[in-house]
Amino acid sequence: MVSFGDPGMVLKAFFPTCCAAADSGLLVGRWVPEQSSAVVLAVVHFPFIPSQVKEFLAQVQQTSQVGVAVLGTWCHRRQEPEDNLGHFLEGLSAIFSHEPWLQLCREKGSTFWSCKATRWQGSTSPGAPSEDQVMIVFYDQRKVLLSQLHPPAILPDQETGDAAAGAVGLAAVFHTVARSEVLFRSDRFDEGPVRLSHWQSDGVEASILVELAKWASGPICLLLASLLSLVSAVSACWLFKLWPLPFIWSKLSTCEQLRYRLEQLTLIFSPQKAENPSQRMRKANMCVSVLLDVALGLTLLSWLHGKGRIEQLADALVPVADRVAEELQHLLQWLMGAPAGLKMNRALDQVLGRFFLYHIHLWISYIHLMSPFIERIVWHVGLSACLGLTVSLSILSDIIALLTFHIYCFYVYGARLYCLKICGLSSLWRLFRGKKWNVLRQRVDSCSYDLDQLFIGTLLFTILVFLLPTTALYYLVFTLLRLLVITVQGLIHLLVDLINSLPLYALGLRLCRPYRLAAGVKFRVLEQEAGRPLRLLMQINPLSYGRVVHTYRLPRYGCHPTHSWGSLCRKLFFGELIYPWRQREDKQD
């Protein structure tokens, strides 16, 4: 990395490679005094009228808000050197006064460049100009214009003055080229009195299809924005806010995914123009994410409606549900006996086993009652794939939650009963130690108990201790089943989050046009000889794929409650319920 922080040593002239073969003329660009750098943007060719050049630069400066000026002269001697041309170019410094005045010259048929930077102010002898040493840095004007420079990730102990000055100097160069886009509209200025050379000198890069798409995008966005606003108004109707509809919708992944897609489409088709490159990149990432989601959904839809797969899935759903219920019945019958040779409390074991068997019987009856409508339900679920693969996956997650609702009920019953016994045992254990829980102060205080209280506490403690193994075994089995269901739903939600939040457009730019996302630059030495100016080539370093994902990752529409391994084990040990539902207040920006 070349330092930009010491302006007193070397003057740096950033010269576009597209102007290396341009005819002689004036160097137009911006002077950065803090970094002692001159950013050349274009070359004004002969013939020209100085007053028209000044008027043209004033218009460009007013439009782009960049201090564009004539920095010096450029001489490309395609024929034998002529003294008249040299004297004429030197005389232009009196018309376009600038400090310092650059004089770049390239000899015919050779790689030799001569560079001068003349100053009249600050010279040692009055009236005699002084010259600074010049370093020429070539850069690709098109790549620098289209690229977006990201600040480097500098550790706290690496924040030195040279690194900070280098980052500021690079930012000034990229900012100057990006804000001077009006100067590169050659179709406007080539017909006028001023003729320029820059990266678009051969013609503006455009397409008739692109221009038609830009012309038609305005009315289409207005129409779609109106339709989306109508859908948002209908969804906000007071009928949909009656209890318990908001509670149910907040627990369904499908409703959350549809709400998230509605917000994305509203932002994509908003007629308001993006104010900065970050907002444009976010819109592009959302657009590509939605298109990929719909494409995957249509692929799934075509697969489901081919070769009668919907009928096959509908016919296999009821036998699978019967098979799961049968396995649960066998599991409960095993628990009602002597599981793994453990001696359980016979009365409590029979009560719990019959209670859960009755729930399974009710669930099987419900499944068989719904069996005539299963094919139509599966058909509508498959049709929802036209809204996107994520919608189908969210519906699949909700269907799994409904089909395993009896397992969730078993888990809740077992967890509540187990938690009640754990709390009772902890309270009775404090009774034996002469302690009690102070509800007002939220702490454990000393307390004296009489003989009757100690006797009843001992009796209850003994009963709970002997009933705890049976309850703990049921709680353990149903917790493992519940964790299995949560794992399957978690994998589905992980895939949905991956499609929703992955910045596909940014990754495509990094793959196809890596210079668009710049993490910095590197310099390659082109010529370094004594008595000749140092010439460097500035090349763009692209962002790494990991940093692209971290920088442009889209906000997620919800998240699971984050639990550390310690807090998760604590909740499982004390019988606290673990809810994997998505909460609206957990949204991440």
Summarize the confidence of residues 321-332 as an average pLDDT: 87
Task: Classify strands 134-139 and 130-132 as parallel, antiparallel or unpaired.
Answer: unpaired
In angstroms, rounded to a whole number, what is the distance separating the alpha carbons of residues 116 and 105? Answer: 9
Residues contacting residue 177 through CB under 8 Å, at least 6 positions apart: 39, 41, 141, 144, 145
Q: Which two tokens stand for residue 236?
A: 């906000």
Any idea what the Cα angle at residue 44 is, between residues 190 and 97, rounded to 5°? 140
In angstroms, rounded to a whole number, what is the distance separating the alpha carbons of residues 430 and 408? Answer: 33
Q: What is the pLDDT of residues 50-103, one digit of tens each?
A: 888 888 888 888 888 888 888 888 887 654 445 555 556 666 777 787 778 888
For 14, the enclosing helix (H) or strand (E) is strand 11-16
In angstroms, rounded to a whole number, what is the distance separating the alpha carbons of residues 463 and 324? Answer: 35
Q: What is the pLDDT of residues 267-288, one digit of tens each?
A: 888 877 777 788 888 889 999 9
* CA distances for 489 relative to 137, 493, 577, angstroms: 56, 6, 17
| Weakest-pLDDT range from 149-163, 492-506, 565-579 | 149-163
Task: Classify strands 25-32 and 37-45 as parallel, antiparallel or unpaired.
Answer: antiparallel
- pLDDT over 50 at 157, yes or no: no
Residues contacting residue 527 through CB under 8 Å, at least 6 positions apart: 111, 113, 534, 535
Task: Classify strands 443-446 and 435-438 as parallel, antiparallel or unpaired.
Answer: antiparallel
Write down the pLDDT at residue 411.
92
Summarize the confidence of residues 325-340 as an average pLDDT: 86
For residues 313 and 241, the model is more confident at 313
- pLDDT over 50 at 176, yes or no: yes
| Weakest-pLDDT range from 215-219, 483-487, 516-520 | 215-219
Is the separation of the CB atoms in 98 and 70 below 8 Å?
A: yes
Q: What is the mean pLDDT of the chain?
A: 80
Q: What is the pLDDT of residues 94-147, one digit of tens each?
A: 778 777 888 888 776 666 677 877 776 655 455 555 667 888 899 998 888 888
Write down the pLDDT at residue 201.
67
Residues contacting residue 463 through CB under 8 Å, at least 6 positions apart: none
For residues 76 and 417, the model is more confident at 417
Domain 11-197: state its class: alpha beta
Strands (E), 156-233: 196-197
DSSP 246: H
Radius of gyration of the chain (CA): 37
Q: What is the pLDDT of residues 509-554, one digit of tens each?
A: 999 999 899 888 888 888 777 777 888 999 999 999 999 999 899 8
In angstroms, rounded to a whole number, what is the distance separating the alpha carbons of residues 259 and 389? Answer: 15
Amino acid (1-letter code) at residue 224? L
Confidence of residue 3 (pLDDT cuts 50, 70, 90): very low
Which residue in 337, 353, 347 sits closest to 478, CA to CA?
353
Summarize the confidence of residues 448-461 as an average pLDDT: 85
Summarize the confidence of residues 401-420 as an average pLDDT: 90
Which residue in 572, 562, 556 sits closest to 253, CA to CA?
556
Amino acid (1-letter code) at residue 549? V
Summarize the confidence of residues 392-421 as an average pLDDT: 90
Determine phi and psi for 492, rounding to 5 degrees. Answer: -65, -45
Summarize the confidence of residues 363-367 as an average pLDDT: 85
Is the separation of the CB atoms in 114 and 73 below 8 Å?
A: no
In angstroms, rounded to a whole number, what is the distance separating the alpha carbons of residues 279 and 472? Answer: 54
| Weakest-pLDDT range from 153-167, 463-477, 543-557 | 153-167
Write down the pLDDT at residue 505.
92
User: pLDDT exceeding 90 applies to what percent of the chain?
Assistant: 14
Give pTM, 2 decimals.
0.78
Summarize the confidence of residues 453-469 as an average pLDDT: 88
* CA distances for 215 relative to 209, 210, 218, 286, 472, angstroms: 10, 9, 6, 21, 69
- Taking the CB of residue 454, how many other CB atoms lie within 10 A of it? 13
In angstroms, rounded to a whole number, what is the distance separating the alpha carbons of residues 500 and 261? Answer: 9
Is the separation of the CB atoms in 328 and 360 below 8 Å?
A: yes
For 542, the enclosing helix (H) or strand (E) is strand 534-542
- pLDDT over 80 at 13, yes or no: yes
DSSP-assigned states of every residue in 480-539: HHHHHHHHHHHHHHHHHHHHHH--HHHHHHHHH-GGGEEEEEEEEEEE--TTS-EEEEEE
Is the separation of the CB atoms in 148 and 515 below 8 Å?
A: no
Which residue in 35, 97, 34 sits closest to 70, CA to CA?
97
In angstroms, rounded to a whole number, what is the distance separating the alpha carbons of residues 375 and 365? Answer: 18
Three-class DSSP category at 345: coil
Q: How many helices (H) and strands (E) does the chain have?
A: 18, 14
Write down the pLDDT at residue 121.
61
In angstroms, rounded to a whole number, what is the distance separating the alpha carbons of residues 359 and 409? Answer: 9
- pLDDT over 60 at 581, yes or no: no
| Weakest-pLDDT range from 160-169, 270-279, 322-331 | 160-169
Is the separation of the CB atoms in 582 and 253 below 8 Å?
A: yes
Q: Which two tokens stand for residue 313?
A: 């899935």
Domain boundaries, given as residue ranges, for the chain: 11-197, 208-298
Write down the pLDDT at residue 368.
84
- pLDDT over 90 at 507, yes or no: yes
